[in-house]
Chain A
Amino acid sequence: MTVYDLVDLLSEHRFFHGLDKDTLHLLRGCAQNAHLREDEYLFRTGGPADTFYVVRQGLVALELTAPGRAPLVLETVGEDGVLGWSWLVPPYKWFCDARAVEPTDVVVLDGACLRGKCDADPALGYALLTRVSQVMHERLQATRVRLLDLYGGPGAHL
């Protein structure tokens, strides 16, 4: 049986591509493996955002609920994706619910630990922030496009 070190798992993940081994070793101190069962929640709206999730395998749904309305899945995050930037931004509270749609493997990074390492090492902070910014950029653009409700409009020759 092959036993993977957390550094190996992180280095294989798209989010961490380009980070050197020393940096990944530094991050390992904040990381642990976790397995989620189907329909298990990673976090709930308003809860303390003290973790950053790296999805290795499986699928996680980000859900928003409102009184009197059925819950809505806003987005899903699958393998090679990451979850949560609220650990980086005060007041460190989750904005939505996150539920494993299927059995899911993640690496969980402790938010306070990460913030501490970023404060101590600005180069690491910059590297992580640019990666998180990329994820935020992609999700913001995707959200803006979905606001257009592209598939709801008329289509002539199609």
Chain B
Amino acid sequence: MPTSEALAPTALDAALLPRPFRVVATRDETADTATMWLEPSDGETLRFAAGQFTMIGVPGRGEVPISISGDPREPVLLQHTVRAVGDASGALARVAVGDVVLVRGPFGTGWDVQRAAGSDVLIVAGGIGLAPLRPALLDVLAERERYGRVALLVGTRMPDQLLFVDEVQEWRSRLDLEVLVTVDAAAPTWRGRVGLVTGLLPVADWDPAQAHAFVCGPEVMMRLTAEAVVHAGADPSRVRVSMERNMKCGVGLCGHCQLREHFVCTDGPVFDYDVLAPLMTVRGL
């Protein structure tokens, strides 16, 4: 075998080899969450589908799976929104312009919002779950005429923990998009809703008989939301959820993210709810 062939990188090698990206902009979203815009040092644009994630990390601080929060139609700069919950994500959430981060991917399945063409679209986000859903919403808005009624329902802990505040405000001003926000608790100065995000379902304008729902947030929130959407009359196969597990290799080899017969990094993170529903109530999974 010629040496050049023996050393030629395979797709697997490429998926496992981190690429350096330079931070070109950052924005604090909340006290513990920041958005960063990254430029590939090798000049090769990282194209992705809404819902996919990368393995990303500050050199020497480990890597973590983070969903891409940017616009799939504008992939020149890679956009991630990271909440500091541990050492690796904490280092990421504190990067500054000029820093270099290492990125592998994109990995996993996407939201595939196109399947909702001709139907109502219900996008339900809990907390940081709005970040992985942002690309899905942007996909829908880019071809708004292809869809029926579109509603974005957002639940978060407190008013000051809402992500993408300016953009949410802009979305609220659109006549072709319903945006409802609720928080878990608030001071009396908050003029919006307080309560679980599922409480927004009866308020939103959508037809359960033909709607597609895309749900992302903490797993309990996703399960309760999916159950409520199905209880309202939606077909479980039209509900999609994005699972969170301990992804490591990103390519279905290491098994860290295994969920019974599913590898979340390759079979997911976005799954049809009817596939996952039986697993979501199993303790310890």
Contacts and interface: CB of A to CB of B under 8 A. Distances in A.
Contacts of B218: 150-151, 153, 155
Contacts of A63: 188
Given A151-B161, A155-B83, A70 B128 contact: no
A142 B200 CA distance: 12
A115 B267 CA distance: 56
Given A74-B194, A154-B85, A156-B246, A149 B157 contact: yes
Contacts of A80: 202-203
B196 interface: yes
B64 A156 contact: yes
Contact of B187 (A70, A150, A151, A156): A70
A72 interface: yes
Nearest to A79: B203
A76 B194 CA distance: 5
Interface string A1-34: 0000000000000100000000000000000000
B196 A142 contact: yes
Given A73-B187, A150-B217, A152-B157, A142 B198 contact: yes
Given A72-B185, A80-B202, A151-B126, A158 B191 contact: no
A152 B184 CA distance: 11
Nearest to A152: B157
A99 B188 contact: yes
Contacts of A125: none
Interface residues of A, number: 32
A119 interface: no
A123 to B, nearest CB: 27
B196 A145 contact: yes
Interface residues of B, number: 47
Given A157-B245, A158-B66, A76 B156 contact: no
B180 to A, nearest CB: 10
B187 A145 contact: no
B203 A73 contact: no
Contacts of A103: none
A7 to B, nearest CB: 22
B220 A78 contact: no
Interface string A43-77: 00000000000000001010100000011111110
B69 to A, nearest CB: 10
B195 interface: yes
A89 interface: no
A101 B224 CA distance: 27
Interface in A71-93: 71-76, 78-80
Contact of B244 (A61, A70, A157): A157
Contact of A73 (B66, B157, B188, B242): B188
7 contacts: A73-B185, A146-B184, A151-B128, A152-B157, A155-B129, A155-B218, A157-B247
Interface of B: 53, 64-67, 83, 85-86, 126-129, 131-132, 155-157, 161, 182, 184-188, 190-196, 198-199, 202-203, 216-218, 220-221, 224, 242, 244-247, 269
| Pairs of residues from A and B, 10 with the lowest C-beta to C-beta distance, nearest first | A157-B65, A151-B127, A154-B85, A151-B157, A150-B218, A142-B196, A76-B194, A73-B194, A73-B186, A158-B128
